[in-house]
Chains A and B, each alone.
Chain A
Amino acid sequence: MSLTILGPERPDGVLPEVLRKHGVNGPVALISAGWRYDELRDEPLRAALPNEVRNLRLYDRFRLLERDAPELMTRYTAKQDALRRMKDRYHLRVQSAVQCASNLLREYGTAADPWFQQAARHLREIDDLFLTEARALHDGFDREVRPGEHPLVRREREAVRQELEGCDALLVAGGHVGVLRNRCTFFDVGPALTVRPLYAWSGGAMLMTERVLLYHDHTAYGPGTAEFLDHGFGLLRSTVLLPHARERLDLADRVNVAVLAHRLQPRVVVGLQNGAVYENGRYTGTAGAAFTLSQDGSVVDATGA
């Protein structure tokens, strides 16, 4: 398996340069389902790459199934609704738990404090519970509904498989990471991710880790509480990726950083900015393009530049 992770590609990216350096000259397949209704507006990418680009059209294919396979889609929607209800409960639990851990660290100032340690452990338990329950829900749906056996789904999955044939690489763009994950799992692209060189950026990169974390501190109402979306494909292990972390997180707040790092341990928490590249086990790019969030609340450059 050859996996290359990139930081955000908007507004400026390094994908063309990386593909050139890797000698990827032939056709490439593209998953841009995270762009939703703009899925096929991939002209800028086509213009930037010398390669033939084959868009796998996962968002579009799903829309066709919404129209042509209503019974299946009703059951799928019911599963997603159940997931949403579960997330409501998760949100309630994790919100107060993050608040508690942050308050303890802010008030008493030491991560070694057993009460903080317990609070961080509690947070991890809540995250684990949600992810376990979410997986059970997805597994139950697959077991009971067997979407892969539906003739239209089989047809679309086969069409995706054929599109991939002859491609030298697979590109997975960012965007709406929830939609991206759902479409990728629905069309079972997991096995295809390891067959040929894989290049994933931003939301696409998040999806290649074991767990996908959602976060934003700068909303109209101030910091939100980071929470997991779901499992990812787990190709990049022991890592949580945070694209655009500098824009989305208050990294100057050491308590904020420390709580996140403690909560996500033993995984390494890596912020990715434009120009960051991860390949062969190391991060490269301009200084600060990739950085880790440390348990002491500091942010440490990971590029070695």
Chain B
Amino acid sequence: MQRVLELITQTQRAGANRRALLDAFVHDTVLPLVDDDHATFFYWDGEPTEAVFLQHWVFGLPSRIELRRIPNTDAFWLPLDLPKRARVEYKFEVVRQGKGRWSADPRNPRRAYDPFGSNSVCPASSYEDPEWTRPDPFARAGTLVESKLHSAIWHGDRTFQVYVPYGARAGKKYPLLIVHDGNDFQHFATMRTCLDNLIHRHEVAPLLVCFTSGVQRNWEYAANPKQADFLATELLPHLRANFPVLDGPEFQGIMGASFGAVSSLFAAVRHPGTWGRLILQSGSLAFTDIGEHERGPLWDPIVRFVNEFRAEPPHLDAKVYQSCGTFESLIYYNRSLFPVFQRCAEAARFTEAPDGHNWINWRDRLREALTWSFPGPLWMYYE
């Protein structure tokens, strides 16, 4: 922030060439500026601008924060506290001629992608991309097998991909993990790279991973019995018949993020004894203690399910890994549910991370989630 304050001082001096100062500043500066525990956002593109707002998805802060204008300029700035190791995704809303337009930060090359486009990323001073998320030339890649089945439940074909770990050999069986939003986990959370690396390092057991994606995703994943039945009575038997899947629920996992986490938990409750490993990331596990929820009709079945689950938690014959970002509105629900999982599941683990409801947060938790659910022989390897 100190550099911005110095810039402001310089621009306010009599006779200062403000444009030249601002041009030089944005040319020489990686934005946002990140100090020990706060970030300074900055906007200047040389065009006349009425206002700039920071749009972000940090629960607890106003979602739209106006940047301060540097007097006598069209440059704007905003200091914001940012916990160490945090990571914030954001956009700017730039107002010109009375109209606001959202855009990525033009001075920040760091981007995160999701099915809706991209956001700019502001990592706090201590945040680093985990090295196991990056391609490792020594890690040998698993193969991806395209597959499909005809679903009587969905009245049509369903396609999916199955990750087969490197070195898988005939006659040997492997644990299975089914992933909701499988396409997105591959594209936006680089899950195949993470699997290659973590298996190569022996941190995660070699396993089969079925990447499945919904067609009417939100409806299918919102505690929908059809989806739970599809997973247990159609997809799982198909996978067992066509891939070398180990016997026993402890070798059958299911995971998802957001609504995918809801669907995973719902599947485990509806088909007890089938899924012995649950990975629930930023679960949209909304509930009401009193009154109505205000999240719209799509959430009705979820709230009903979670209310019932909390009222009378069924025995879950499963290890549950749960994570949620502290910048998510869902953190309250997830924190509230963890003690319930501790009581009703075989074992439960919960990680909070200073991040939001996004794919990089879910990617960054994969190591903990997978090593907890399917630990590899790391302890055994001395090469």
Find chain A residues with CB under 8 A from B371 CB: 219-221
Find chain B residues with CB under 8 A from A115 CB: none
Nearest-neighbor residue (CB-CB) of B168 within chain A: A37
Tell me which of A18-26, A138-146, A175-183, A190-198 binds B: A175-183
Instruction: Produce 1/0 per residue, B198-232, CB < 8 A to A.
Output: 00000100000000000000000000000000000
The prevalent SS among residues of A at the interface is mixed
Known: A220-B203, A221-B368. A175 touches B378 (CB 8 A): no
Q: Report the bound CA distance from A175 to B377 in whole Å.
A: 11
Find chain A residues with CB under 8 A from B203 CB: 219-220
Q: Report the bound CA distance from A10 to B383 in whole Å.
A: 6
> How many residues does chain B have at the interface if contact means C-beta atoms less than 8 Å apart?
15
Q: Report the bound CA distance from A243 to B383 in whole Å.
A: 8
Asked if B357 lies at the interface with its beta carbon under 8 angstroms from chain A, I say: no
* Beyond A38-B167, A203-B382, A220-B372, 4 extra complex contacts between A and B, CB < 8 Å: A176-B381, A177-B380, A219-B203, A229-B380
Seen from chain A, the residues whose Cβ lies within 8 Å of a Cβ on chain B are: 8-10, 34, 36-38, 66-67, 174-179, 202-203, 206, 214-216, 219-221, 224, 229, 243-244
Q: Is the CB of B368 within 8 A of A178?
A: no
Find chain B residues with CB under 8 A from A174 CB: 381-383
Q: Report the bound CA distance from A66 to B169 in whole Å.
A: 14
Q: Is the CB of B382 within 8 A of A243?
A: yes
Out of B368, B377, B382, name the residue touching A202 (CB < 8 Å). B382
Q: Report the bound CA distance from A228 to B357 in whole Å.
A: 42
Known: A37-B167, A219-B371, A221-B372. A8 touches B379 (CB 8 A): no
Find chain A residues with CB under 8 A from B379 CB: 214-216, 224
Q: Is the CB of A177 within 8 A of B381?
A: yes
Out of B169, B372, B380, B383, name the residue touching A178 (CB < 8 Å). B380
Nearest-neighbor residue (CB-CB) of B140 within chain A: A38
16 pairs of residues in contact across A and B, judged by CB atoms under 8 Å:
A175-B381, A175-B382, A177-B381, A179-B380, A202-B382, A203-B382, A203-B383, A206-B382, A214-B379, A214-B380, A219-B203, A219-B371, A220-B368, A229-B380, A243-B382, A244-B382
Known: A37-B167, A38-B167. A220 touches B367 (CB 8 A): yes
Q: Report the bound CA distance from A220 to B381 in whole Å.
A: 16
User: In residues 273-308 of chain B, which contact A (Cβ within 8 Å)?
Assistant: none
Q: Report the bound CA distance from A8 to B367 in whole Å.
A: 25
Q: Report the bound CA distance from A220 to B370 in whole Å.
A: 10
User: In residues 346-383 of chain B, which contact A (Cβ within 8 Å)?
Assistant: 367-368, 371-372, 377-383
